[in-house]
Structure 1
């Protein structure tokens, strides 16, 4: 990959990483309730989902998924349903307390990682990023797979930086969330935004439509 391509890719990619969305909202919520490090570790679930999508796109399978209306509807509906489930959980929660034992902390991180993974893997928009955005920076007269994997690795690195940035923002909400009422308000705001994202995902149309 030449320097010019790299200079074009990094800022464009990072803009996508920083774009507000369900996963970045989770990073804020996780940091606000559990701390910066836990939120960053939970983001690994998101990175695993994106790495899976990058592998599919590199193998050409993502294009098949997008071309299949049935598969698209299944992914879209599953992702929307999970977002609305999270919205309900946030809306009815007063906010968890900070874990006091190592065992509780491990279980919590595992749960948050799974939540990040499910939100990311159920969003077909992410597949569009890897099938429409990344190929724009592929040099045709070079081997495609190594370039795609390199771009994918850079995307994941920038994504984790974005996770840290949103987690840092969430960290500064912890003092405000010390009160139960503030936690309830914050969770209901997050729940409303996630529910809105779920509804938007549910009405999203296939690329062919």
Structure 2
């Protein structure tokens, strides 16, 4: 019980950390509303499930320890974030002030975008491979890993909802300046892509 009291707040802090996926939830909510952003965020959760399973099997440790694989995931993820950020930035110049309709995308596209951003971030692998094992019970390894994974996914869903609510609130508060919000989102994505390139594999 004591471990869980430590795990939940520490895990939720990781869930709430401002990163590319949470920026997407913010942007999607500003474009299409809270429900749209939450549904799109399921794409992120579905990607995390096999990543947690692979980490439980020990493959997460192998991936985080492999310099080649880590670098490949990092570069591909960074390239996708920079490309996505550039698209968001460019689309803002085609919008009229206060209108995000031209930048909005389908739910399927937003769903796929969330999943690709999640799988392209090696930090998620490190969380599942390095953070989870600190709280796993050895005598019931897979059961406790599955439980921790379920708690993580629940907290991640809450984080998605909170960022979606924040994005919708920002959209209502500054309806005439949403094209600037779109540019800021694009710039943020490109910045995250650059920072991802600087991520080092843990020793």
Q: Given the two structures, how large is their TM-score scaled by the length of structure 2?
A: 0.92
Identify which of 143, 167, 170 aligns with 2:167: 170
SS in 2 for 1:97: coil
Identify which of 106, 109, 117 aligns with 2:107: 109
> Aligned-pair RMSD on alpha carbons?
1.8
Confirm whether residue 202 of structure 1 aligns to residue 197 of structure 2.
yes
Identify which of 157, 172, 176 aligns with 1:160: 157
C-alpha distance in structure 1 between counterparts of 2:72 and 2:102, whole Å: 36
Following superposition, the deviation at residue 76 of structure 1 comes to: 0.3
Counting only pairs closer than 5 Å after superposition, residues 1-209 of structure 1 correspond to structure 2 as: 3-94=1-92, 96-97=100-101, 108-140=106-138, 142-176=139-173, 178-179=175-176, 182-208=177-203
SS in 2 for 1:190: helix
C-alpha contact 1:38 1:109 (8 A) present in aligned 2: yes
SS in 2 for 1:159: helix
- Unmatched tracts of structure 2, length 5 or more: none
The 4+ residue runs of structure 1 with deviation greater than 6 A are none
- Unmatched tracts of structure 1, length 5 or more: 100-104
Following superposition, the deviation at residue 177 of structure 1 comes to: 5.0
SS in 1 for 2:91: coil
Structure 1 residues 4-50: Cα deviation after superposition (integer angstroms, max 9, x where no partner): 22211111111111111111111110001100000000000110111
The alignment covers a number of residue pairs equal to 197
SS in 2 for 1:20: coil
